[in-house]
Amino acid sequence: MSRTEPGIPLNGILNIYKEQGFTSHDVVAKLRGILKTRKIGHTGTLDPMAEGVLPVCVGNATKLCELLTDTGKEYETELLFGLTTDTQDITGTVTGRASEALVNSLSEEAVQTAVKSFVGAYDQLPPMYSAIKKNGKRLHELAREGKTVNRERRRVYIESIEILSAALPRMKLRVSCSKGTYIRTLCQDIGDQLGVSATMTSLLRTRVDQFELQSAKRISEIELCQTEGEPDRFLIPTESFFSSLRRIASGDAVKNGAQYEKLVRNGNVLPLSLFKEGALHPEKGERLRVYDPDGCFAGIYCFDEADALLRPYKLFR
């Protein structure tokens, strides 16, 4: 990506490697200071003990935060059988221990059966130490006051679980799952099913949608880019999130380029009659990437078959 001139706003997505000890909010605060912009948002909370992929949206890409939060994720985690804590991870206060004999009696077959039983949809009880709100207050705030409140179970989906290693009482897993899945709760649930409980000892997020661990950058790398005058070196274009959608630009497809430009710049609907016959042929409900005559990404439009026009779905101007 080319060097950004002073005064030109930064827009795009940073694939950040969140390090242990930082909250997701800490990462945003640090990046705001480094990039000297307030318009930054993260795409899903990671606990301080967790590390790994945290997509951060900058500038007009902040409109993607909600969409990215809703995407699937992949983790690598380690759990320790026989231990229960109030936070469901190793940072918490120990609230229970299974006997050594009971833990040692676990068989490899029983463990594999328990793990595999969680593949698919299951109703997960959110932990007290979480950011979910109950009656206007976050659960972790209530937990720190020593309170426990009733929570409703939430349907989550475990796409796959792979046992990476099992040196009991410890086991490492790779989990692909839906949004809203608490891995530490999954670890405890697996242990509970085996009758010994379990607590999470480490968590590494390896993927969020198309953003993977191998390409994630540490905050220190972003800071170095800023120092060298290239704050946008690792910015991923906003429209890349929609790379699977068809692209529409003026070019030869539009009958009236001036009218097209005006409508796009103002975020208006685009009548199908604006395009040359046979140039588009969108399917019912199809979403398309729309660009202005200068080649700048304008947003996502959805085809309304009933009215024969493209309606703005998400604008990025």
Helix (H, G, I), strand (E, B) or coil at 248: strand
Residues 300, 6, 1, 61, CA torsion sign:
negative
Based on the fold, state whether residues 184 and 137 are members of the same structural domain: yes
In sequence order, the 6+-apart residues with CB closer than 8 A to the CB of 213 are: 17, 52, 53, 204, 205, 206, 207
**CA nearest neighbour of 205 among 9, 15, 8:** 15
Number of C-beta neighbours around residue 307 at 10 A: 11
Place of tokens 């042929």: 281
Residues 173 and 273 reside in one and the same domain: no
233 lies in some domain: yes
Residue 191: inside a domain? yes
**Among the ranges given (83-97, 180-194, 242-256), the one the predictor scored with the smallest mean pLDDT:** 242-256
3-state SS, residue 245: coil
Q: What is the number of domains present in the chain?
A: 3
Same domain, 88 and 197: yes
Q: Tell me: the pLDDT tens digits for 97-148?
A: 999 999 999 999 999 999 999 999 999 998 888 778 887 788 888 888 888 8
109 shares a domain with 86? yes
- 4 pLDDT more than 70: no
Q: Which of 26, 47, 192, 209 is catalytic?
A: 47
Is the CB of residue 288 less than 8 Å from the CB of residue 248?
yes
Q: Which two tokens stand for residue 25?
A: 């909010």
Q: Which residues of 193-225 are buried (b: 16+ CB within 10 A; e: fewer)?
A: bbebbbbbbbbbbbbbbbbebeebeebeebbeb
**What is the pTM assigned to this prediction?**
0.88
7 pLDDT more than 70: no
Question: Quick check: helix, strand or coil at residue 102?
Answer: helix
Residue 280: inside a domain: yes
Q: Please, where are the H alpha helices in the chain?
A: 24-35, 65-69, 100-104, 108-116, 139-144, 183-193, 219-227, 257-265
| pLDDT at residue 94 in the model | 96
Last residue of a domain, one of 220, 239, 258: 239
Question: Which of 110-124, 190-204, 279-293 is predicted least confidently?
Answer: 279-293
- The domain that holds 235 is classified in CATH as 3.30.2350.10
Residue 6 lies in a domain: no
The answer to whether residues 108 and 16 belong to one domain is no
Instruction: Give a yes or no: residue 194 inside a domain.
Output: yes
Q: In what order do the strands lie in the sheet with 297-304?
A: 246-248, 287-291, 297-304, 309-315, 270-271
Average pLDDT taken over every residue of the chain: 91
Domain that holds residue 196: 77-203
Q: Does 174 lie in the same domain as 126?
A: yes
Do both 84 and 195 map to the same domain? Answer: yes
Note the pLDDT of residue 294.
Answer: 86
The answer to whether residue 152 is domain-embedded is: yes
Do both 67 and 216 map to the same domain? Answer: yes
Residues 146 and 260 in one domain: no
254 with 223, same domain?
no
pLDDT above 70: residue 316 = yes
Half-sphere exposure of residue 210: CA atoms within 13 angstroms, side-chain side? 12
Reported as a single tens digit per residue, the pLDDT across 218-234 is 999 999 999 999 988 99
Residue 279 lies in a domain: yes
Q: Fill in the DSSP letter of residue 273.
A: G
Q: Confirm whether 4 is domain-assigned.
A: no
For the chain, where are the E strands, in sequence order? 12-18, 40-42, 51-58, 73-81, 83-85, 94-97, 120-124, 133-134, 137-138, 154-167, 170-177, 198-208, 211-212, 246-248, 270-271, 287-291, 297-304, 309-315
| Co-location of 121 and 269 in the same domain | no
Q: Is residue 70 annotated as part of the catalytic site, yes or no? A: no
CA 198 to chain centre: 26
> Mapping DSSP to helix (H, G, I), strand (E, B) and coil, where does residue 219 land?
helix
In this structure, are strands 287-291 and 246-248 parallel, antiparallel, or unpaired?
Answer: parallel
If one compares 9 and 56, the residue with the highest pLDDT of the two is 56
| Whether residue 147 is found in the same domain as residue 256 | no
CATH code, 250: 2.30.130.10
User: How far apart are the C-alpha atoms of 33 and 231, rounded to whole Å?
Assistant: 12
Where residue 252 falls among pLDDT bands split at 50, 70, 90? low
